[in-house]
Every structure is written in C-alpha cells, then in structure tokens.
A and B are shown apart, each in its own frame.
Chain A
Amino acid sequence: MEELQEVHPREEIQKSPEPSIVDLKTRYGVLYSIQFKDVAIVGEVSFIFRPLSISEYKHYKTILLTRPHTINLIEDEVIKKCVVRAIVPDLSIFPENYVAKITENSPSFYTVGVDIYDLLPAGIVSSLFNAISFLSYPQKIYDWNVALEVERQRQESDIEYKLKGFICMVFNYKPEELNSMSYRSLVEKAVMAENASMHRLELPIRVVDKSEVENKKSKSSVFKNIEQDAENMRRTTGGMRDEDTELQKKMEQVLNRTDPKSKFDSQNKSSKKVNR
C-alpha cells in the first residue's frame, strides 16, 4: 500500500507551474519575442517579454534622466520585471576559464554574485532593454500616429472589436471583461445589445466580406466613368444624341449588375429627361 503524504499548502504553491503564454498575454495584453544568434559561447538566446506599463516607463525614464549613471541597475531591474520567458543556457555551459577571466576583470561585482545575464555579451541585456523601452512607449508624435493608424486598420477589419465596442456602449461592460467570454456569449450579448439599443438606424451589425466591398467599389467606379462620359458629351453637343442613348443603355446594363440604390437613382434621372 502506498503511504499518503501530507502536502503542505505552501509547498503546493511553490510547485505550481509557470503561467502559460496565454495567461501572460491575458494579463499583459501583448507579448514580444526577440532572438540573438551567433552569441559567443552560448550560440543562441531567446527572450519573451512584456512591455512596461506607461507609469513604469515614466518612472524609469525620470530616473535615467536625472541619474544616467544608474543605467546598469535600471537595465537589470527592467529585464527582471519584463522578461517572462528566457531561453538561455545553464551557467554550467560557460567554461571555467571564461568565468574566471570575466570575474577577475570585474572585482567590484564578483563579491555581489554573478548571474547568467552577467556572463552574456554586454550588448544582449542593453539591446533587450532598448527593445522593451521602444515597444513600451512611442518616442515621437509620428510614432503615436503610426500606432493609432495601425490599430485603426486592425480594428476596422476585425468584427470582434465592433461587437465589443457596441456591447460596451449599450451595456455596462468593460472591454477586458468581454475577452473572457466565448464567442457564442459575445454574439448573444451583441444581439441583446441590438434589441436594447436606441440606435436602431445603425442596426443590424453585419460581417462584411472585404472582397465583396472591393467588388462593389470597382463596379461603382465603372459606373462613374460611364456617367462622366455621358455628361461630357451632353455638354459638348448640347442635347441628347444617338451616342447618348447608347451610353444610357450601357449604363443601365452596368446598373443592373450593381447595387439597387444606384439603379434607382439612374431610373429617376432618365424619367426626368423624359419629362423634359
């Protein structure tokens, strides 16, 4: 018989697995990865990191502006805070000679203790710190505009954002709360929002196929060209001619294949001409 062992709750906590990438993404919103190849001794190292929050970024920036000589300490702290996964080798991969030489050359730090980051080439941590800084806060107004435009494009092409925005507008939800829902619940809330909404004119929400929109656009541009030709001809000749009627027919053919609204408009136009 196996003997049951009592597990102390604290031990259980210690043994709990690291949070998954999905959990980390939910917590921090966005994660980035960076890889360094052909690194001395270790060959290749990779890091997955989160950006700093705005308040964290401003806090570190202020320190660096007032005390630039603290850069190494700040770099270490930011890396410890933001790197959520690091694929770096074990300390044992470094030859004894190497560790001995490096520590011999750095007497002030040897007594404090050496960690893996200290043995890597100097630029890895600095470049990683720079990557975290760049991706944490836009450095120029231009960068803000680019970020806004990229986000606009992303949200424009994604129905999920529209549904979420609509649900949040009608009900008292925060966008983050909607992330934990299944897509069925999201759709359910969206339709409930449609029914409850006073903005009937904006309803119903439809998923628009991009290729369909582009098709429509190209058709309407064909129509515009034909209409422009007809208008020009009318101006130069001062009245209706055979060519005009031909064009009119052409227009009608095109319109029969395009949207009903423009068809309706053209019928109106032709009826006005007859009345005259």
Chain B
Amino acid sequence: MTEDLEKKALEEKELAVHGVTPEEYKKIVRKQIVEKLGISEEQLEAWKADYGKVVRVMLGDESFLIRPLSRLENKQMNTDLQVGQNASEMEWAAAYEEALIRRCVLAPKITVGDYTASRAGTFSSLKVAIQFYSNFLSPEFILASCDEI
C-alpha cells in the first residue's frame, strides 16, 4: 500500500518536473541517447543485461552513459593500482579516477586525448556520478540510514 502511494507520488513528481509521465520521459531519453550518442536500442538493451543499470549523465551540452561498478571490479582496480605503491595520495586518486572512468563510462568512448582535452571538472563529475550509482554514500547519509534495533 505504502509502495503504491510512493510510486504514485513519484509519478506525479516526474509529471510536474518534466511535464510527461515517467514512461514517456524514458522514451524521450532513449531517443536522445540514440540520436546524440549514436547508440542503437539493441546495444542499450545489451548493456542493461550486462551491467544491470545504465544511466545517462548530462554535463552541460555533453552526454555520457555510465554504469555502476561492482565490488569485484573495485577490488581488481585497487589491486592493479597497487603497482605504483610509492605514488602520493593525489597521484593515486588521479589514477583511480582514470581507471574508474575507463571501466564505467560506456559512451562516448573515452580516449587518452580526452583526459587532457576535456573540461577540468568533467571527469571528476563523472566519478561522483559513478560512485553515487555504485552506492558509495557520504558519511552523513550512512549514519542517517542506520537504525538502532
């Protein structure tokens, strides 16, 4: 019952924000992805089957498709990055960001040139989005989510 009400409230909110129902909005987003990023509907479905969730991120006039990172992949990434253990914390963070984006940005294809040519905040923002959809929560949010039983 509560779930039904929540769903209805969400639908109403979507309608108020976007002026269309959630289903219609999804269709519009899919159409935009196909047109702007040149991704076919089949490819989109295949990615959904492969990774469970595909998210479109809009950064100004740029669009990106990202997916969540699994724990196993995160372990692998940490292991790979340990090769340069003498690196400073900042160097490590930059290497982690690069590895994360290489793995989780599905479209457009990120090339080496993009790392230097893109706007300064683009990859940092993408990292935040990937981490959010991979359920990395802020300490405040974590503590607010815990209940003593």
Contact assessment for B71 and A121 in the assembled complex, using a CB-CB cutoff below 8 Å: yes
- Distance in angstroms between the alpha carbons of A266 and B50 in the assembled complex: 84
* B69 and A122 form a contact (CB under 8 A): yes
User: Which stretch (A1-9, A130-138, A205-213) binds chain B?
Assistant: A130-138
Answer yes or no: B88 CB below 8 A from chain A CBs: no
A1-53, CB < 8 A from B: 21, 25, 30-36, 39-41, 48
Quick one: CB contact mask for A213-249 with B, threshold 8 Å, 1 for yes?
A: 0000000000000000000000000000000000000
Helix, strand, loop or mixed for chain A's interface?
helix
Question: How many residue-residue contacts, CB under 8 A, span A and B?
Answer: 119
Report chain A residues within 8 Å CB of B40: none
Contact A122 B70, CB 8 Å, known A34-B145, A40-B52:
yes
Contact of B136 among A103, A106, A127 (CB under 8 A): A127
What B residues does A119 contact at CB under 8 A? Answer: 70-72
Q: How far is the CA of A109 from the CA of B70 in the complex (A)?
A: 13
The residue that B135 contacts in the complex, of A39, A98, A118, A135, with Cβ under 8 A, is A39
Instruction: Tell me if B49 is interfacial: C-beta within 8 Å of chain A.
Output: yes
Q: Decide: A126 and B136 in contact? CB cutoff 8 A.
A: yes
Q: Which of B136, B145, B146 contacts A122 (CB 8 A)?
A: B136
Residues of A within 8 A of B82 (CB): 69
Asked if B78 lies at the interface with its beta carbon under 8 angstroms from chain A, I say: yes
Check B124 for interface membership: any CB of A closer than 8 A.
no
**Interface size class for chain A?**
35 or more
Q: Identify which of B78, B103, B135, B148 contacts A124 (C-beta below 8 A).
A: B135
Contact of A131 among B49, B133, B143 (CB under 8 A): B143
- A114 and B72 in contact, given A31-B149, A32-B147, A98-B50 (Cβ under 8 angstroms): yes
Sample (28) of A-B pairs whose CB atoms are under 8 Å apart: A32-B148, A33-B147, A34-B146, A34-B147, A36-B145, A40-B68, A40-B133, A69-B85, A72-B75, A95-B52, A97-B49, A98-B52, A101-B50, A103-B72, A105-B73, A105-B76, A105-B103, A107-B76, A108-B75, A108-B76, A108-B79, A118-B70, A121-B133, A127-B136, A130-B142, A131-B146, A134-B139, A135-B146
